[in-house]
Structures are given as structure tokens and as C-alpha cells.
Copies of this chain bind each other. A is one copy, B any other.
Amino acid sequence: MILPLSDAIERFVSDGASVALEGFTHLIPFAAGHEIIRQRRRELHLIRMTPDLIYDQMIGMGCARKLTFSWGGNPGVGSLHRLRDAIEQQWPRPLELDEHSHAGMAAAFCAGAARLPFGTLRGYLGTDLPAHNPNIRRVACPFTGEMLAAVPALNPDVTIVHAQRADQAGNVAIEGILGAAREAALAAKTLIVTVEEIVDELPPAMNAIVLPHWIVSAVVPCRGGAYPSYAQGCYARDNAFYRRWDAIARERASFLAWMDEHVLGTHDHHAFLAGLQQADA
């Protein structure tokens, strides 16, 4: 089913839902996150290995009740100030944490994709994380008796990923760095994919990365939908924006002003991008 972004968010993302916007540095679905902010969703359980700027924005705008994550920084730049403010000062509201390592979250997404109730890893040894997260437990190997770490499967109510293209039938093709996006997509109860373009037919893909149409709930045409993250073969990561974000998000007032102007004050992602372009010019 091909839907406009606003319809897809309205239809599939409810208050209180668990939502994973995945994509590791590459293909982060910014447009979808902004639309969730515009539609003022609340009490979301946000799930993402690296919250990145998009969750900094959603958390700062009060969309989230809980965060499942494994690394919450601005890559190569520093802190996510809105995430820190939520944890350190409970602003704009308290944020419950379900904190993992990358390896643990990866195992949880894989378990979710396979519809197993838990994932197993040789991990979380010598770290204080399990002491603060009851979702990190141990399981004994039924053959060797060895104790291993276990994490509960992640099966988001909604996963949203961004991709380069889909065909009319709803098959989605992804190129480049994947992070855990594919596993998060396969683990979802509902899967929304925003894409740079929709083509009549994808070429036979052989071993390329494809999400077949019947696991995709909605395809959303959304050019530039990953900006300021990037889409391999379409546009580059705006590293300068990631650096600028540090100053924008450092204070509540400047953050709110920016969100008001650029996200709440724009009608859709095209208007958001046009506004930034104008500001640059």
C-alpha cells in the first residue's frame, strides 16, 4: 500500500506505541520522525540503537515515555543535549531507560525478526549494565551448561526505515550500510518504509537487500526523507548540520525555537527541506 507520510503516521503510529526508527547513521528516517512530532504523538516507547538527532528531537518535544537504546551521542560531535536533559533533569518529562550494548540490541532485533522470545549472546560480562536492567538475564546452554547472556526479543509495534527505492508492488530495495534496519523491519508488527523514489519494477536482485512486499505495511514516497542523514547513491550526510545541531539543542529555548520554525512550522518534509535551503542561502 502506497500512502502519503502524514496518512501513514496517522494510521499506524498511536499514542503509547513502541516505535523503532532504525538506520545506522545511514538512512535514518528523519522525515517520519518529524511527522510524528507534527502529529504530537505522546507516550511512545522509542527503540533505536543510536538515538541520534531524530530521537533527540522527539524526546525534546515530549513524544517519548521510554527509550530502548545502546549508544546515545551525536556521532563525532558530542552529546545529545535533549536526551541528556530528559535523563538528568526530566525535561520535558521523565524518560524511562532500557539500556543495552550494541551486541545486545542486535541480538534482540534478530530474535524479534525470528519471532523467538529471546536472543542469546556471549556478552554483558564485567559490566554494570545487567545490575540496572532486568531485561538482561542469563541462560544456560542445555549441552555444555555454559551461562550466556539473554535479552528479550524486540518486536516494535511499528518500525520505520528509509530506503532508496520501492516498486509499485511494495518491494523495497536497500543499498549500503544497514545497521540493524533490516532486522528491525522484519521484527515489526507494522512496517512503514519511506523511500526516495517508487519505480515500476525493481530489477531482479539476486543477493541484494530487499524487503519483500508482503512484509511491508506501507510504502511512503519521500524524497530526501533521510536528510540530514544520507541515502547512499542519492545524497551525502550533512556533517555540518550534525555539528550545528550541537549549538541548537544545547539550550531548551533555542531547541524549541528551531523545532517551532522548522518542524512544527512546516507542513511536510518538502517544506522542511525548502526552509533549510532558504536559511542556507
Contact = CB atoms under 8 A, between A and B. Distances in A.
Given A207-B176, A208-B207, A117 B139 contact: no
Interface in A182-213: 206-209
A138 interface: yes
Identical chains in the assembly? 2
Nearest to A209: B207
Contact of A143 (B118, B122, B140): B118
Contacts of A65: none
B176 A206 contact: yes
Given A206-B175, A207-B208, A141 B117 contact: yes
Interface stretch (A84-92, A144-152, A214-222): A144-152
Nearest to A208: B207
**Interface majority SS (helix, strand, loop, mixed), chain A:** loop
B142 A118 contact: yes
Choose among A137, A141, A178 the residue with the greatest number of B CB atoms under 10 Å from its CB: A141
Contact of A116 (B115, B148, B174): B148
B146 A142 contact: no
A120 interface: yes
A137 B148 contact: no
Interface of A: 115-118, 120-122, 135, 137-144, 146, 148, 150, 152, 174-176, 178, 206-209
Given A139-B139, A142-B150, A175-B206, 17 more contacts: A116-B148, A117-B141, A117-B143, A117-B144, A117-B146, A117-B148, A118-B144, A135-B143, A137-B142, A139-B141, A139-B142, A143-B150, A175-B207, A176-B207, A178-B207, A207-B207, A208-B208
